[in-house]
Amino acid sequence: MPTITVRNVPAKVVQSLKALAKRHNRSMEQEVRDLLEGYVAERRAVLDQIEAGWQAQTRRPTPSEVDAWMAVGRP
């Protein structure tokens, strides 16, 4: 399994991770793994929903339509 190293993590973040890990009766390393996996899974689910919505469209919007939608409400 690959390894990652995260440097310069603020002390308050580390303290919070340790507290979460203790509350869940696991190591801080396992807590971080679970948080990362949960974030990625949630993001993947949202992207899958977006893709399903696109698949249901009868046509894709043109770039100029997308630009116009994004400009709504902007000065």
Query: Six-digit token pair at 52?
Result: 């399903």
**pLDDT band, residue 16 (cuts 50/70/90):** very high
pLDDT at 60 (0 to 100):
82
pLDDT at 26 (0 to 100):
97
pLDDT at 75 (0 to 100):
66
Question: What pTM value is reported for the model?
Answer: 0.60
Residue type, 1: M
pLDDT tens figures, 22-73: 999 999 999 999 999 998 898 888 889 988 888 888 888 889 998 998 888 7
Nearest of 29, 25, 24 to residue 9 by alpha carbon: 29
Indicate left, alpha or beta for 3 from its phi (over 0: left) and psi (-120 to 50: alpha): beta
